[in-house]
Amino acid sequence: MSESDSWLRRFLGGSRAWVRDARGRRVLLVDVAKLLAGMGTEPGARDEGRERLAEIRGALVRGVGKRQWVHLALVVGLTLFAWGALLVSVYFTLRGATPTSGWLTTVGIGLNSLFTVELVFRSVRVIRAAHLASALVGVGCCASCGYDVRQLSAGADGALTCPECGAAWRLPRPGTTEDEAAAAYRDSVLRGEWFVGAMGRLGRWVGRWRRK
């Protein structure tokens, strides 16, 4: 990958995502593709490994896959709006009114459009990472390294600490549905990030509207 490609990937949020654990620390989200590719291949534990792999895949599909179209709609819609505003400004500037003020307006809208695109991509990335992390934790999998944390004991704060990477997670209480556990985790992760939180609430509202 060239240096320019690497810069573009970072600008659009293309590097590995970060999430917050149960104690509020930022940890790197596990590479889900590598995690799934390495499961179910251990000698002597193939049947159990395959069952675990199917469980995690099912949780990811339920927690993330069904919401992909909402994320895509947010990115495409807001990006088209930002660049549409820029093109309209360029059109009226080229038609001629006051060249100086017109071009200043165009440059201003162009910079604002770039900022909007970057903000939208990063916000959707944070929301998607929260969905992935909540789905993994919901089936007893460390969202930072993939370690099976189901048999660990929780600390005084109710969170258990992964022995592999040190990240802390709270497993869902017995009887808690996947949606309830995921919503509780995402709300704690997205607290204080007003734009990301607003987009997350919009996605949940659209999801409820579809189910009616």
**C-alpha to C-alpha distance for 181 and 106, rounded to whole angstroms:** 46
| pLDDT, tens digit, 9 for 90 and up, residues 7-51 | 444 444 445 677 888 888 888 888 777 777 766 555 554 555 556
List the end-to-end C-alpha distance of the chain, in Å, as a whole number: 46
Please state, as a whole number, how many other Cβ atoms lie within 10 Å of the Cβ of residue 126.
Answer: 23
| Contact assessment for residue 37 and residue 50, using Cβ atoms and an 8 Å cutoff | no
The angle subtended at Cα 177 by Cα 174 and Cα 183, nearest 5°, is 115
Tens-of-pLDDT digits for all 212 residues of the chain? Answer: 444 444 444 444 445 677 888 888 888 888 777 777 766 555 554 555 556 566 666 665 555 555 556 666 666 776 777 677 767 766 766 666 555 555 666 666 666 666 766 676 776 777 777 777 877 887 788 888 888 888 888 888 888 899 999 999 888 776 666 566 666 565 555 544 444 455 555 556 655 665 55
Beta bridge partners of 169: 160
Beta bridge partners of 28: 18
Beta bridge partners of 26: 20
Domain ranges for the chain: 34-84+123-211
**C-alpha to C-alpha distance for 65 and 67, rounded to whole angstroms:** 5
**C-alpha to C-alpha distance for 106 and 74, rounded to whole angstroms:** 24
DSSP letters for 99-137: HHHHHHHHHHHHHHHHHHHHHHHHHHHHHHHHHHHHHHH
Look at the pTM and tell me if it is higher than 0.75.
Answer: no
Q: Give the list of residues 6+ apart from residue 31 with CB closer than 8 angstroms, or none.
A: 16
Number of helices (H), then strands (E), in the chain = 7, 4
Q: For helices 46-63 and 178-190, give the axis angle rounded to 10 degrees.
A: 70
pLDDT of residue 2: 40
**C-alpha to C-alpha distance for 169 and 138, rounded to whole angstroms:** 10
DSSP letters for 20-71: E-TTS-EEEPP-HHHHHHTTT-STT-HHHHHHHHHHHHHHHHHHTGGGHHHH
pLDDT of residue 135: 78
